[in-house]
Amino acid sequence: MSHGFGLDHLPYGVVAHQGRDLVVVRLGDDVIDLAGLAASSAPPFDPAVLAGPGLAPLMAAGPGVWAVVRSWLQATLADSSASRIPLAEVEPRMPFAVADYVDFYASLNHASNVGKIFRPDAEPLLPNWRHLPVGYHGRAGTVVPSGTPVVRPQGQRRPGPDGRPAFGPSQALDIEAELGFVVGVPSTMGEPVPITALADHVFGVTLLNDWSARDIQAWEYVPLGPFLGKSFATSISPWITPLAALEDSRVPLPGQDPEPLDYLRVAEPAGYAIDLEVVINGSVVSRPPYASMYWSPAQMLAHMTVNGASLRTGDLYGSGTISGPERDQRGSLLELSWGGNEPFTLDDGSTRTYLQDGDTVTIRATAGTITLGEVEGTITPR
């Protein structure tokens, strides 16, 4: 059975097998070595794009090649007994080298909840939020593949009665359930990417967990924003779902008011009907819907480059925490525990506000018949 990894999906990845790293697609519970498949047939494209290292050559080749490769794979794998390698016999690797990492803040529900938690007597949204996709530039070097342990970060926290900041391991370690967008085709510095050009540049999507130390973040983020409270680790799935595989899942966003400026304006901003699950130690604690987002992936890309900043192959940008309007749709523990004041209960009867050492967090998602590759991490003590 395909279990959401059928011919309509075919996510790309890189795996280690018998001492070699292979560029592969996943089909059911197997992977297919793409260089090997190309060598045994006559593909209608330059097979060098499948030879590695990593997915970068294919990502940089552009949407015309992506479409030809995908059609060839669907036809070849449907009609042949291509050599398959069981998933259990390979070790997933980082699928591409991250060039730059930007994380957005594109959920109205999440931003409103955070505003209510931290500014209960003020307007939840700051004046700029409905006019532009707010974001920050993260650290590419700490983006890691699913399964990589996450060491509890340490840093400064808010001052105590003596006025001096505390220092030590974070006591408010959190997650953020997100969708990551992987850039394939670069752009020229000084030339903004238009809002209509998402599919010309974005190769695919991956589930992303933006681990967050809320106590470190709370002390450092004024006036310049997230830094050490975010930069210690960001986990992604090793499987990159092609953007084309999500075409049937495109849906209009709920609506934007006021109308965005011209460079962010389209007739109907579109997102994706992707349903996530956040799981802690086997307990489902949240089901965030990506279709509830305020800013679209195309708007985020346009805003990220409107000042002339260029794209590079391997750039990664995250949606920001995905949260729906209901309590059980909140994509961070900050929201689920309402700032640490309302513990929630796991299936084993234990309670959480933030993560404990040894906790394993798994984020998974589906889009119609497609199952995205999950992203997982376990907290290890400092």
For residue 71, the Cα-to-chain-centroid distance in whole angstroms is 26
The whole-number pLDDT of residue 359 equals 98
- CATH 3.90.850.10, the chain: domain bounds: 101-380
Active-site residue among 9, 110, 201, 303? Answer: 110
Burial class (CB in 10 A: 0-12, 13-18, 19+), 287: middle
- CATH 2.30.30.230, the chain: domain bounds: 12-92
The whole-number pLDDT of residue 79 equals 82
DSSP class per residue in 178-216: EEEEEE-S---TT-PPPTT-HHHHEEEEEEEE--EEHHH
Rama region for 338: left / alpha / beta (φ>0; ψ in -120 to 50; rest): left
Burial class (CB in 10 A: 0-12, 13-18, 19+), 51: middle
The whole-number pLDDT of residue 1 equals 44
DSSP class per residue in 132-167: S--EEE--GGGEEETT--EEPPEEEEEE-TTSPEEE
Cα–Cα distance for residue pair 236/376, rounded to 1 Å:
8
Give the residues of the chain that fall short of pLDDT 50.
1
Q: Which of 371, 295, 336 is nearest to 177 (CA)?
A: 336
Contact 221, 334 (CB under 8 A): no
Tell me whether residue 3 is one of the annotated catalytic residues: no
Contact 278, 332 (CB under 8 A): no
Residue 198: CB atoms within 10 A of its CB come to 19
The whole-number pLDDT of residue 351 equals 98
Contact 183, 314 (CB under 8 A): yes
Residue-level length of the chain? 382
Contact 195, 299 (CB under 8 A): yes
AA letter at 153: P
CATH class of the domain whose range is 12-92 = mainly beta
CATH of 101-380, one of 1.10.10.10, 3.90.1150.10, 3.50.50.60, 3.90.850.10: 3.90.850.10
Phi (first) and psi of residue 47, to 5 degrees: -65, -10
Check whether the bond before 252 is cis (ω within 30° of 0): no
The whole-number pLDDT of residue 2 equals 63
What's the CA dihedral at 338, 341, 346, 350 to 10 degrees?
A: 170
AA letter at 336: L
- Give the residue carrying structure tokens 């523990």: 333
